[in-house]
A and B are shown apart, each in its own frame.
Chain A
Amino acid sequence: MKLEDLKKIREKHQKDMILRDGDARVRVVVGMGTSGIAAGARETLRAFLEEIEKRNIADVIVTQAGERGLSSHEPIVTVLEKSKPNIVYGNVTADVARKIVAEHIVNGSPLSDYVLEVSE
């Protein structure tokens, strides 16, 4: 890799371009560190994928990340949407995950009871 390549990749993947593929409107980031997994993040991830598939939604991507720190509220999930603040959810069991898909991702109403943090 050359210096220019590094620069190019950087520009293409800048923070605000997290929704990299132009097609995606929403990105769901599931915390999959040891704490998350110990609290059931694998089931949460599976629930997101199944629910999105079941509802046949095309413009959502689901990715994994490490942990945000707040172990006691794992599994932790962040929902990123184009030109909206990021919403961090805590205690996202598989059931809550399905609700997030139905209410937040499809209908744009975040689930206030589970919101931990709203950030830019």
Chain B
Amino acid sequence: MKKRLDVLVCGGAACIASHSQDFKNRLIEVVKDHDLEDEINIIETGCMGPCELGPVMVVYPDGAFYIRLKPEYAQRIVEEHFLKGRPVEEFLWQAPEARKIVEEKRQIPFFEKQHKVVLENCGRIDPENLNEYIGNDGYQALARCLTEMTPDVVIDTVTSSGLRGRGGAGFPTGLKWKLARRSAGDVKYVVCNADEGDPGAFMDRAILEGDPHSVIEGMAISGFAVGASRGFVYVRAEYPLAVRRLRRALEQAREAGLLGESILESDFSFDLEIRIGAGAFVCGEETALMASVEGHRGMPSPKPPYPSEQGLWEKPTVINNVETLANLRHIILKGAEWFAAMGTAKSKGTKVFALSGNVTNTGLVEVPMGITLREIVYDVGGGIPGNKALKAVQTGGPSGGCIPAEHLDTPIDYESLAELGSIMGSGGLIVLDEDNCMVNMAKFFLEFCVEESCGQCSPCRIGLKQMLRVLERITRGEGRLEDLDDLERMAGTIKATSLCGLGQSAPNPVLSTLKYFRDEYEAHIREKRCPALVCTDLITYTILADKCTGCTACARKCPVNAISGEVKKIHVIDQGICIHCGACFEACKFDAIERR
């Protein structure tokens, strides 16, 4: 019969010399004392190898490896391990480096420069277990608000912390709340903006997935401060996991009485509802978002009136971003001074950035405001793979701009990024290297905004489309030098006259690349050349006569039969037919095709 445990005691010569028999005999006795003979199989084996560590013993199925055993250890091993299933650690073998790791490998630089506040719980606690959140001071801040603070004190605390909205514009959160609190009316709403539309930002998703209660608690605090008893979380449909975790968290909070009537026996009642977006970038803009929550097309509306006066269903409404909300509990618990001590003169606290693109370590990075881009890209991000040169860092997504390498040492906050022609945005940081074409990037963002324009106002609907046409022309090699001035002029008009933030900021990627990378635009226009070899129409493929072996591989791959030549003779590409697809370049095994 198979027994529960197999215990292999080494009976090799070396172990016997170090008295393995004494240990084995004692072990057999103890096993007998505990009536375990039917469950435990003690076997003597031949030499296991690590003789200098003898006597040794291995226990299966778990595989625990004991060394330097003495008869007096038998009692504990049987009681702890054989009976309760816990190997006795101090008698186990440990690789020599085991302890060293703990001393040497404290941290890789990715973690070292970070300062986790908002992300503290992410990746550590079980997001589906309310108790773990509470164990990490969860809902303590709400409790403090309800028992020790008045709404005005809460607003004052948030105001003096210097917290500014993390959703893009950086509006002071305390001030926004004050305005909403002052607005007349009994019914008010709070809304969490979890639309995270910037393609390249994912901090809000990570917070909702990893620490959903921190957002719920933040919303309850803001509801208490402004006098709202109802809230909405607007989450984008592309985040199914975040929606699931948030749903679960809401249920738990309700069950525990942390949402609902008379929370923690106070007279504050508050509850939340999830609204799922339906794939429209403009719905991240607050007035469009409210239209969407109400169930309509997500069309922005002119401000004023501001949401704090007339928002959802024309009631005073506070809209805050996920990361903004997740900061609140820390500010309430640790105090406004603690928060204000981090960051720069006008931008306090930490900011989470989503680092991606051509960088070694990609992911979410939480750093104090005022750190430089260089520190983020090189220290935290580990630099550019393949020793390539950094060309620019794109920040702020479709509303932002590209910051060139020469400005990497600027300390980043809301103001400094704006000065450089970009914005903080939601915190997406995309690293571009020498293989990225800046004209192509500008075109990419413009295409995005053209697709996402709601079409309500003409500067955005028509103007952006015209700008895109010009860019398309340039990337096809049909541009004119005047186009560049035209682009700048159109950009100015669109920025000045669009109805909402989408149109007002959509020209930014074009403007910032024109400002810093005009030479690349000019190369496309004057020399009909894409220096980064990205714009397909401008790439020329030619066959190098001295390397071509006439293997015909390229000619067979060419989808338009532009390559001619006989077997074992030099081949030629007919440039008039070539569509620049690069299939021949991939197919050639002799590096005989040149790409320029």
Residues of A within 8 A of B (CB): 1-3, 6, 9-10, 12-15, 17-18, 25, 29, 31, 33-35, 37, 54-59, 63-73, 76, 78, 84-85, 87, 102-103, 106-110, 112, 115-119
Q: B98 on the interface (CB 8 Å rule)? A: yes
Q: Give 7 A-B contacts (CB < 8 Å), ordered by A residue.
A: A13-B136, A25-B86, A33-B241, A65-B127, A69-B365, A71-B364, A106-B64
B interface residues, tally (CB under 8 Å): 73
In the complex, the answer to whether B264 meets A102 with C-beta atoms within 8 Å is no
User: Which residues in window 354-372 of B have CB below 8 A to A?
Assistant: 356, 360-366
B245 shortest CB reach to chain A, Å: 8
| Set of chain B residues within 8 Å of A6, measured between Cβ atoms | 134, 139-140, 143, 264
- Of all A-B residue pairs in the complex, the 10 with the closest CB atoms, nearest first, are A66-B210, A13-B135, A58-B85, A68-B123, A109-B95, A71-B363, A69-B364, A55-B62, A1-B257, A109-B98
Q: B497 on the interface (CB 8 Å rule)? A: no
- Give the tally of cross-chain contacts (CB within 8 A): 188
Task: Across the interface, name the chain B residue whose C-beta is closest to A53.
Answer: B61
**Assembled-state Cα–Cα distance A84/B98 (Å):** 12
A14/B86 contact (C-beta < 8 A), A102-B63, A117-B108 known? no
| Set of chain B residues within 8 Å of A63, measured between Cβ atoms | 126, 129
Instruction: Contacts A10-B140, A12-B135, A68-B122 known; list 9 others, CB within 8 Å.
Output: A3-B265, A33-B205, A34-B209, A34-B241, A67-B206, A72-B361, A106-B92, A112-B97, A117-B106
A33/B111 contact (C-beta < 8 A), A73-B361, A106-B63, A107-B64 known? no
A67 partner, pick from B108, B110, B123, B258, beta carbons under 8 A: B123
A103 shortest CB reach to chain B, Å: 7
B124 partner, pick from A56, A78, A85, A107, beta carbons under 8 A: A78
Q: B211 on the interface (CB 8 Å rule)? A: yes
| Set of chain A residues within 8 Å of B207, measured between Cβ atoms | 66
A77 shortest CB reach to chain B, Å: 10
**Assembled-state Cα–Cα distance A14/B77 (Å):** 31
A118/B363 contact (C-beta < 8 A), A55-B61, A65-B126 known? no
A30 shortest CB reach to chain B, Å: 10
Q: B147 on the interface (CB 8 Å rule)? A: yes
B137 partner, pick from A10, A59, A78, A119, beta carbons under 8 A: A10
In the complex, the answer to whether B94 meets A118 with C-beta atoms within 8 Å is no
Q: B101 on the interface (CB 8 Å rule)? A: yes
Q: B84 on the interface (CB 8 Å rule)? A: yes
**Assembled-state Cα–Cα distance A84/B89 (Å):** 12
A117 partner, pick from B111, B205, B206, B264, beta carbons under 8 A: B111
Q: Mark B320-363, 1 if CB is under 8 A from A, else 0.
A: 00000000000000000000000000000000000010001111
B372 shortest CB reach to chain A, Å: 19
**Assembled-state Cα–Cα distance A14/B206 (Å):** 23
A96 shortest CB reach to chain B, Å: 15
Q: B131 on the interface (CB 8 Å rule)? A: yes
Residues of B within 8 A of A (CB): 4, 60-65, 84-87, 89, 92-95, 97-98, 100-102, 105-108, 110-111, 114, 119, 121-129, 131-132, 134-140, 143, 147, 202, 205-207, 209-211, 239, 241-242, 245, 256-258, 264-265, 356, 360-366
| Set of chain B residues within 8 Å of A103, measured between Cβ atoms | 95
Which of A33, A68, A87, A106 has the largest count of B CB atoms less than 10 A from its CB? A33
**Assembled-state Cα–Cα distance A10/B140 (Å):** 9
**Assembled-state Cα–Cα distance A76/B366 (Å):** 18
B304 shortest CB reach to chain A, Å: 38
Task: Across the interface, name the chain A residue whose C-beta is closest to B363.
Answer: A71
B305 shortest CB reach to chain A, Å: 37
A69/B206 contact (C-beta < 8 A), A109-B93, A117-B108 known? yes
Task: Across the interface, name the chain A residue whose C-beta is closest to B253.
Answer: A1
**Assembled-state Cα–Cα distance A56/B138 (Å):** 35
B382 shortest CB reach to chain A, Å: 9
B106 partner, pick from A67, A70, A118, beta carbons under 8 A: A118
**Assembled-state Cα–Cα distance A12/B136 (Å):** 11
In the complex, the answer to whether B360 meets A72 with C-beta atoms within 8 Å is yes
A70/B110 contact (C-beta < 8 A), A6-B139, A17-B135 known? yes
In the complex, the answer to whether A66 meets B63 with C-beta atoms within 8 Å is no
A116 partner, pick from B95, B110, B129, B265, beta carbons under 8 A: B110
**Assembled-state Cα–Cα distance A14/B242 (Å):** 25
